[in-house]
Structure 1
Amino acid sequence: MSNRSSEALSPLPKRLKEARLAKGLSQKRLGVLAGIDEFSASSRMNQYEKGKHAPDFATLKRLSDELGVPTCYFLCEEDWLATALMNIFSLSLSKQKNIAQLIQDEKI
């Protein structure tokens, strides 16, 4: 499988765009908020959302912080798991820990 086709399978471009739109941010605004230079923010975000390039982890972390989503959401292949992660992330920390303990106790 070529590099190009494996990049197309990445969930990151679609999820990044959806999360940005849900926050009502332009590509440029999100890029600037995440620390990307104002003059290249729009084009870099466009490349990320088109799957032409992927942000390094530090940039992805800043993007996830600005969008209020867990960083792993962008990389999770399974849609059902990404949805579950978002639901868990929206809970209080104590509830998140309770869920983690329940899963560990069940050995799922």
Structure 2
Amino acid sequence: MKNVHDSNFSPCIEVFSKRLKHIRASHGISQKKLGILAGIDEFVASTRINRYETGKHEADMETVARIAHALNIPRAYFYADDDNLAELILQFYKNENL
């Protein structure tokens, strides 16, 4: 987990944070539940997901993969900087996984 205030700040963090918050809310699950489903320790699950959603920390690729798996969505969704593209990615993934 990277602190976004480090010199290695990723410009994707804002998009990732926005997408994570939106998709979690659309699935109707809490930050804690998502964290637990993604394999994060239950005692810090809510805090970790909150920090990812607020952009205070950046999830590593392994964590992103676990979150995507828990939500049954492709990792690419988190990095689509256009809302329409993000929705197309979700639709394509759903159609491919029928």
Residue number among 32, 54, 63 corresponding to 1:59 in the alignment: 63
Higher relative contact order (CA 8 A, sep 6+): 2
Instruction: Report the Cα distance in structure 1 between the residues aligned to 2:59 and 2:70, rounded to whole angstroms.
Output: 14
Shift of 1:93: 5.0
Q: 5+ unaligned residues in a row in structure 2: which ranges?
A: none
Q: Alpha carbons of 1:34 and 1:17: their partners in 2 closer, same or farther (altered >3 Å)?
A: same
**Larger fraction in helix:** 1
Identity between Structure 1 and Structure 2 (%): 41
1:58-98 C-alpha deviation (Å, 9 max, x unpaired):
1101101111111010011122211111111110359xxxx
Residue number among 63, 77, 80 corresponding to 1:76 in the alignment: 80
What TM-score, normalized to structure 2? 0.82
Structure 2 match to 1:46: 50
Matched, 1:24 2:31: no
Give SS of 1:49's match. helix
What TM-score, normalized to structure 1? 0.75
Compare CA radii of gyration and give the structure with the larger one.
1
Shift of 1:22: 1.4
Residue number among 82, 90, 97 corresponding to 1:86 in the alignment: 90
Q: 5+ unaligned residues in a row in structure 1: which ranges?
A: 95-108
Instruction: Report the Cα distance in structure 2 between the residues aligned to 1:7 and 1:88, rounded to whole angstroms.
Output: 22
Instruction: Report the Cα distance in structure 1 between the residues aligned to 2:21 and 2:31, rounded to whole angstroms.
Output: 9
- Alignment RMSD (CA, Å): 2.2
